[in-house]
Chains A and B, each alone.
Chain A
Amino acid sequence: MSRSSHDELAGTTTVDQPHALRFAGVVRRYRSLVALDHLDFQVGRGETLALLGPNGAGKSTAIAILLGLQRPQSGTVSVLGTDPRSAMASGKVGAMLQVGGGSGLPHGVKVGDLVAMTTRLYRRPAPVARTLERAGLTDLADRQAQRLSGGQAQRVRFALAIAGDPELLFLDEPTIAMDVEGRRSFWSMMRCFAGEGRTVLFATHHLDEAEAVADRIVILRKGRVVANGAASAIKAAVPTRRLRFALDGADLGCLRALDGVDAAAVHGTDVVLDSFDADATVRALVQTGVTFSDIEVTGADLEQAFVALTGDLAEVQTVDEAVAPQASGSHAGAAA
């Protein structure tokens, strides 16, 4: 008797844990490739967290593990006080995954019927009409699922993710392939939903989204956390500063050679330098004796911080070439 009441107590403690999910020393390898390398972070209940990182940093793997679609080789993952699979089966978790080229939706069904069917898979779902409204689909309920535009299909997948009225929502690059207006309306829907005390974790490549939407940002690099905090804190922690000034006949080679400079760009007479030691760069600039004017030093924006934290040196040095459109370039653009 005393034993069972003890167990009950223990159960209550688990439920009351302040975090919605937690990674502790999680390792996931694919043959020789290490996708997650002792990953440690947690997300508090009610928090909205953005997961950032270059391709291959482990974002999708982390989400797959949180959903119970993959198991880590070592370490522990807890989701809503239990293991990922149980959390998923309980219906308290919703997710919107990447779908590659497809729409992610079946054929031969109306949007409203699809949402209604999905709703019935959950034990304590939101009313169908409510879900359609939250995802901005009320007017599309009678549309066939295969006759939707990309952005509309994305909204339907959002509706499917929230149909179960989840406490915890995962979004893996939810606005990929959306236009600017689509992204804007998506995040306003999402913010409404998250505002009701839910926990949201999303992975994205759009740093502006992370900064605008998330309470906190975790940046991954090669399967490890390299930054964890509010956007402002991450930016402040990075020594990178941006220097702008006017200079006639600027020599890109000389500018790059200045102390502390890791990227330089010249547009006409405008010069932009990214430096990890602004003081040293300014001193070196003065010593060259060139007559620069209108100098301005600003702190790193999130993109610069991201590059500083995740880029290899080689990648950082290509930053100034991003002025011209670049084919690869997930890290490019800091000089834009």
Chain B
Amino acid sequence: MTGLGTYLRFEVLRLMRNFRYLAITVGFPVVFYILFLHDEHPATRIAGTTWRTYFMVSMASFGAMVAALNAGGTRLAAERASGWTRQLRVTPLPGWSYVSTKVVASVVVVLPVVCVVELTAWLLAGVRLGIGTWAALTAVLWVSAVPFAALGVLVGFVASSETAYPLVTALMFLLSFFGGLFSPVKALPAVLRHIATFLPSYRHAALGWKLVAGHAPGLADAGALVAYAAVFGLAVIWRHRVEECRAFA
């Protein structure tokens, strides 16, 4: 157990000291939020709330996804290539804990990203919510980022160190665009609207959209995210097994 805690702390610290990682994960959603803000009248309403609040949720969700996907994907692929994962296997740290630590660390780093986007909206766009709503929104967007964390780790196992970064970037933009994070799902053509409901990115943001509109988060959204987490998680376990059994050297 102490080994697990030690390694988790190590992973999170390393992520938090990585300037490029922070610039991408925090910078993208904040910059997009500020850019899109200018185009809209403050009074514009959508889905039972102001557009500014709605889009804050979209960008917090986007940031959560970017943070979780990048934390696992590119770095895990690089560590597999460099031999670090093999070095860890000859320590008393159990093999499964390296993988689970990666997923947990990827979830941990989502929290600051969500908070920074919320703070930006509060400061620059005058978004005001009740303290309970802020807390619930933050907690929901944070915890429900688990499927993205698992997906990132899965990419890290499947991709090579060269292909991981483009793959993560492609996933990031496909999921965010088709999930309605950049333009509201209602503005999309019918086919795309239908596709969106199958994406974890849409389900993740939908939890937040409903919250800020004063509704309880949807069970269907939560259920879909749990299902995604389970599928990606099982795939990670499977890939990890394959890797462990693979011929050595």
Quick check: A122 and B92 within 8 Å, CB to CB?
yes
User: What residues of B have a CB within 8 angstroms of the CB of A117 in the complex?
Assistant: 6-7, 10
* B248 / chain A contacts, CB cutoff of 8 Å: 60-61, 64, 69-70
Tell me, in angstroms, the Cα distance from A160 to B6 when the chains sit together: 15
Tell me whether B86 is interfacial, beta carbon within 8 Å: yes
- Per the bound structure, the CA–CA distance linking A105 and B85 in Å amounts to 9
CA A101 to CA B84, docked complex, whole Å = 12
Knowing A102-B81, A121-B6, the reply to whether A109 touches B89 (Cβ < 8 A) is: no
CA gap between A95 and B81 in the complex, in Å: 19
Q: State which size class the interface on B falls in.
A: 20 to 34
B249 within 8 A of partner (CB)? yes
Cβ of A311 within 8 Å of any chain B Cβ, yes or no, is no
Closest to B86 in A: A97
B6 pairs with A120, CB closer than 8 A:
yes
Is there an interface contact between A100 and B83, defined as CB atoms closer than 8 Å? yes
B79 to chain A, nearest CB (A): 6
In the complex, which residues of chain A have a beta carbon less than 8 angstroms from the beta carbon of B3?
120-121
Number of interface residues of A (CB under 8 A): 40
- Measured in the bound complex, the distance between the Cα atoms of B161 and A100 in whole Å is 14
Q: Would A123 and B79 be within 8 Å (CB), given that A108-B14, A117-B6, A117-B7 are in contact? A: no
Question: Which of A2-10, A41-49, A83-91, A260-268 lies at the interface?
Answer: A83-91
B residues 59-81 with Cβ under 8 Å of A?
A: 75, 78-79, 81
Flag if A99 contacts B87 (CB, 8 Å): yes
A197 contacts partner chain B, Cβ-Cβ < 8 Å: no
B90 close to A67 (CB less than 8 A):
yes
Cα-based distance from A220 to B7 in the complex (angstroms): 38
- CB of B18 within 8 Å of the partner chain: yes
A90 to B94, CA, bound (A): 11
Further 15 A-B residue pairs, CB within 8 A, beyond A105-B82, A121-B93, A122-B92:
A61-B248, A69-B89, A69-B248, A95-B90, A97-B249, A98-B83, A98-B249, A99-B83, A103-B82, A105-B84, A106-B14, A106-B84, A108-B14, A117-B6, A157-B87
B positions within 8 Å CB-CB of A:
2-3, 6-7, 10, 14-15, 17-18, 75, 78-79, 81-84, 86-87, 89-94, 244, 247-249
10 contacts between A and B (CB under 8 A): A30-B247, A69-B90, A88-B92, A99-B82, A100-B249, A103-B83, A105-B87, A120-B3, A160-B91, A172-B249
